[in-house]
Amino acid sequence: MGSAATTQNPGSEFKGNIGLTSSTHGDQVAVRSNILIATNDSEIRSNMGELFETYDVRTVWAKSVEEVKAIIGKTDIAACFCGFWLVDGTYREVVRFLKRQQIEIPAIIVCAPACPHEYRDYLAALNLRAFDFICHPYRRTDLERILQSESSLIF
């Protein structure tokens, strides 16, 4: 398949707010959410990477459905931002896979900058029970609305 893209995106060091949770001893400890960005599109990767730079999250990258499955199997993921196309499949396979997990992971579909049929794809994604949809140009306000509407995300 190629190299696993599970490394942190350069420049997306942990910035911004830190979520807090209780430890086993009752102390408050910092928790960083892992956000999976699954896409084969270099423009989405670049734009979403820049957008997440200001958040205290760890971005985990995948270019294929198989990489998504491997990452989900070994990493706690708070949300998955997924482009329409991956090396070996589409967002549909990713959404279906995420829905079958013991703890459901919200899938946010990311429309590529050159997507000519975004309304039709939006409806198809929601029909698959995707959590949300974000279109280019990706705006911080849209990202914040999505992240705030998913109460299990820690930011």
pLDDT of the chain, 155 residues: tens digit per residue = 444 443 343 333 322 222 323 334 444 444 578 999 999 999 999 999 999 998 888 999 999 999 999 999 999 999 999 998 999 999 999 999 998 998 889 999 898 877 755 556 666 666 666 678 787 788 899 888 887 876 555 44
Residue 82's SS3 state is strand
Of 103, 66, 64, nearest in space to 82 by CA:
64
Q: Can you give the pTM of this predicted structure? A: 0.73
As a residue count, the chain comes to 155
CA contacts within 13 A on the Cβ side of 91: 29
Does domain 19-149 sit in CATH 3.40.50.2300? yes
- The rounded distance, in Å, linking the Cα atoms of 38 and 88 is 12
